[in-house]
């Protein structure tokens, strides 16, 4: 529960403690003040006492939490929090069409692209990273997510074969789209069906060349060099039931040097990924997602 609150409010553990403390102190202070302000000729046995008490609590609570939040350093949080409550009470709810899409990012390795997505200015404006999913509990991307207060789901072998648990988790977290950022497992057909045109992947070649099963990472770069290609690049595409055959959304190419090695080409490809991946994801998610 606490991890979910940290992720929802985008705070660390210490800030969460101070926020919850403010809620507790504000509530108790408000209750005491309300009782003190009730006229002496009223008592809890009378229905009118409870009516007056509830009115006073409702009026005093915002003032109490704001005052207590100042010495605890949480005034900006509670100022925005109360503004959101006021907007909802006034009927100014954000429509679903304008809501920021909540995305789950799937990754298996170090997570350099995930880090770029997290720290991009598009995060919280064009998309909201609500979950990181990995098939490896020891993958550095798991620790990266935890450091940034993003909930993590580690998939077990049975989860990869039967996605029921994953689908329930994604539904519970209200995930709108999935982004694959160095995820090395094939996506289940059930997941593709549940998220039509809402699963995006990045591939280190100019698809349809050098895609398909077992074509990932350094293998792709080695194949490009072995074939004598003058150019390579990146492709961001939708995911369907077949490896790397979904609709292409974005491509960027680069020239290959005559003395290129798989490692040197990989570094160039990674730079392209870091440069374009967040922007391409944001552009797709800002538009109405085709059904």
- Active-site residues, by number, are 203
Residue with tokens 């009223």: 42
Contacts of 203 (CB under 8 A, 6+ apart): 211, 216, 220, 234, 235, 236, 237, 244
Pairing of strands 128-134, 102-106: parallel
DSSP string computed for 195-242: STT-EEEEESS-TTTT-STT--THHHHHHHHHTT-SEEEEEEEE--SS
Cα–Cα distance measured from residue 56 to residue 74, given in angstroms and rounded to the nearest whole number = 24
Taking residue 78's Cβ as centre, other Cβ atoms within 10 Å add up to: 21
Contacts of 162 (CB under 8 A, 6+ apart): none
Cα–Cα distance measured from residue 95 to residue 97, given in angstroms and rounded to the nearest whole number = 5
In 3D, which of 78, 80, 86 has the Cα closest to residue 23? Answer: 78
């Amino acid at each position: 529960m606490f991890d979910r609150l940290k992720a929802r409010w985008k705070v660390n553990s210490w800030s969460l403690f101070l926020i919850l403390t403010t809620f507790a102190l504000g509530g108790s202070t408000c209750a005491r003040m309300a009782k003190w302000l009730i006229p002496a000729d009223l008592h809890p046995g009378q229905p009118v006492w409870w009516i007056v008490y509830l009115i006073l609590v409702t009026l005093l609570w915002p003032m109490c939490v704001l005052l207590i939040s100042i010495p605890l350093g949480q005034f900006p949080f509670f100022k925005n929090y109360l503004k959101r409550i006021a907007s909802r009470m006034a009927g100014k709810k954000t429509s679903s069409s304008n809501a920021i899409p909540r995305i789950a990012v799937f990754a298996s390795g170090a997570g350099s692209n995930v880090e770029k997505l997290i720290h991009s200015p598009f995060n919280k404006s064009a998309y909201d990273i609500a979950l990181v999913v990995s098939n490896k509990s020891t993958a550095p991307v798991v620790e990266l997510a935890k450091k940034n207060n993003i909930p993590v789901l580690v998939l077990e072998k049975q989860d990869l074969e039967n996605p029921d648990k994953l689908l329930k988790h994604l539904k519970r977290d209200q995930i709108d789209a999935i982004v694959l950022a160095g995820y090395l497992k094939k996506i289940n057909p059930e997941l593709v069906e549940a998220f039509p045109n809402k699963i995006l992947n990045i591939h280190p070649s100019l698809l349809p060349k050098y895609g398909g099963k077992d074509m990932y990472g350094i293998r792709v770069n080695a194949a490009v060099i072995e074939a004598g290609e003058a150019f390579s690049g990146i492709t961001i595409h939708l995911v369907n039931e077949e490896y790397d055959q979904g609709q292409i959304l974005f491509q960027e190419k680069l020239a290959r040097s005559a003395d290129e090695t798989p490692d040197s080409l990989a570094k160039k490809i990674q730079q392209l990924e870091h440069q374009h991946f967040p922007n391409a994801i944001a552009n797709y998610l800002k538009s109405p997602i085709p059904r």
